[in-house]
Amino acid sequence: QSALTQPASVSGSPGQSITISCTGTSSDVGGYDYVSWYQQRPGKTPRLIIYAVTNRPSGVSDRFSGSKSGDTASLTISGLQAEDEADYYCSSYRSTASLNVFGAGTKVTVL
């Protein structure tokens, strides 16, 4: 099964905004509002930061926001902070084959 397509790495300076894209197909990202994003710091377990495309769980900073256009979802981190250094994974429900698909992950580096 093909994973969702994410850039391997994105970097930015403290205070800047960065955006991570997540491209799928009409069978997953484009067809359902079931896109979620996970943050995984080194040696830690994944943490849900965005669900249903745009929603933030309680306790997640409002510096994280999600959106979707067509087959591409995006995660924006504004006011970048050192603590945001982590791997970020998108995920979507999928109507074909396996019911869920993750992206390969994007490593965010704060310069």
Partner 1 sequence: EVQLVESGGGLVQPGGSLRLSCEASRFAFSSYWMSWVRQAPGKGLEWVAGIKKDGSEKFYGDSVKGRFTISRDNAKNALYLQMNSLRADDTAVYYCARDVGDIVATMFDYWGQGTLVTVSS
The contact set with partner 1 (CB under 8 A) reads 1, 3, 34, 36, 38, 45-48, 51-52, 57, 89, 91, 93, 97-105
Q: Which is nearer to partner 1, 18 or 101 (CB)?
A: 101
Q: In the structure, how many helices (H) and strands (E) does the chain have? A: 0, 9
CB of 71 to partner 1, least distance (A): 17
Compute the C-alpha angle 12/110/17, nearest 5°.
Answer: 35
CB of 4 to partner 1, least distance (A): 10
Cα–Cα distance, 23 to 71 (Å, whole number) = 6
